A = this chain, B = another copy of it.
Amino acid sequence: MTAPLRDAHPAGPGRGLPDTQQGMRRRNLARVMHTVSAEGPLSRAAVASRIGLTRAAVSTLVDELIRSGLLEELGPERPGRVGRPGSALAVSGRGPAGIGAEVGVDHLAVCAVDLRGQVRTRSVRHGANRGRAPEPVIAELTSLVRRVVAEAESEGLWPAGLAVAVPGLVARDARTVVRAPNLDWHDTDLGTLLPEDLPLTVGNEANFGALAELWLGDGTPHDFLHVSAEIGIGAALVVDGQLLRGTRGFAGELGHVPVRPDGPRCPCGGRGCLEQYAGEEAVLRAAGLEPGEDRVGLLAQHAADGDEAVRGALREAGQALGIALTGAVNLLDPEAVVLGGALAGLAPWLLPSLRDELARRTAGPACPVSVSGLGSQGPLLGAAHSVVRAVLDDPAVVGERA
């Protein structure tokens, strides 16, 4: 069925769907879900005061959500104040689940996350996928998905959708991989290869990582730039809590921002792109290391051991990142820059020169640069959570099935 999970509520007045009472109801159901999900167990009265509706209205909304299995009544609250205690409501731990999947260069991973945001099942398979054809890889992924779905179902969950994180550019249809250099995939429509009974969303790994940071990060603002380096160097731009995708869905190509316009040639056609200084290959070469298996781990290891060549290479990579990010920060004025993915592990050696370069080139106070706490889990979690968010954003759709 492949329902459109995203963009259900376009912004701006005048545009968008006609405003009928059903739409109103749907939005109010979503408000209740978001409020309960974000602020823990809450009584009906508390929800009502937060979203600005009356207790009576919230009562009927909650009834509907409980009938759909999206909310649960936990029983009476501990009475601390005067007055009748409310009945605590919480997001259900047995309703729909978001299935997240990740196609990495040398692993596959799938997990199921319930509406509460808890990871309930997880399944990983190691093994290099570089250069393998899409069909066998996706077949393997499909079997992992089926296993995770089965386990989730045995815990009383049912899958509301599947989101797949891929290390490459994904078209705006959220189904076809336009280009994944590290897998050597081109124009591959995953919609035809994955189980068809689940609404599917395919997305860029870095984008899902950024969303994970937005939704799960501790103190992450909702205007930031998330930089990661799995496939080349990618940035995900989050503006006002929304991912900026670009016309063709290619936004965030930080790796090909010119750093030194007369620098070395880049396969993209340009010269002196960031990737020529801070890309994996470039850093390994500058560090004098052979490209091998776990290349990022290798770099971190050597850097930690005090290898000066490696440290110098990372210092210069940080500097190049700082230059490119200066441009990005000047253009976008984000609240923060967050380093994620592989960069997070190398942060100790990248950050000093990066911050230095950024500060030197900024007039006022420099944009704060932090490191993601999610590590390599970001993309997978972001994918799974994107399905969960879609349910919270429009509970009515899912309510029909339960």
Contacts and interface: CB of A to CB of B under 8 A. Distances in A.
Given A11-B11, A256-B330, A270 B362 contact: yes
Given A253-B331, A261-B259, A270 B24 contact: no
Given A13-B30, A392-B14, A247 B333 contact: yes
A9 B8 contact: no
Given A13-B34, A244-B332, A257-B330, A362 B18 contact: no
B8 A13 contact: yes
A246 B331 CA distance: 9
Given A12-B241, A52-B17, A326-B258, A360 B27 contact: no
A329 B254 CA distance: 10
A88 interface: no
A64 interface: no
Contacts of A27: 13, 19
Nearest to A390: B13
A132 interface: no
Contacts of A334: 246-247
B8 A31 contact: no
B261 A323 contact: yes
Interface stretch (A78-86, A104-112, A232-240, A294-302): A232-240
A17 B31 CA distance: 10
How often does this chain occur in the complex, in copies? 2
A328 B331 contact: yes
A373 interface: no
A130 interface: no
A270 B326 contact: yes
A68 interface: no
A307 to B, nearest CB: 26
* Chain A interface mostly: loop
A251 interface: yes
Contact of A269 (B13, B21, B360, B393): B360
A271 interface: yes
A251 B28 contact: no
A246 to B, nearest CB: 3
Contact of A260 (B235, B261, B394): B261
B12 A19 contact: no
A128 interface: no
A124 interface: no
B19 A9 contact: no
Contacts of A267: 363
B18 A51 contact: yes
Contact of A361 (B247, B268, B324, B330): B268
A235 B393 contact: no
A53 interface: yes
A370 to B, nearest CB: 15
Looking at A14, A258, A271, which has the most chain B CB atoms within 10 Å of its CB? A14
Nearest to A393: B13
A257 B332 CA distance: 11
A335 interface: yes
Nearest to A253: B330
14 contacts: A9-B12, A12-B242, A14-B35, A18-B31, A18-B53, A20-B53, A235-B331, A252-B331, A254-B330, A256-B363, A260-B261, A270-B361, A331-B331, A331-B332
Interface of A: 8-15, 17-21, 23-24, 27-28, 30-31, 33-35, 51-53, 221, 223, 235, 237, 239-242, 244-254, 256-261, 267-271, 323-324, 326-328, 330-335, 360-363, 392-394
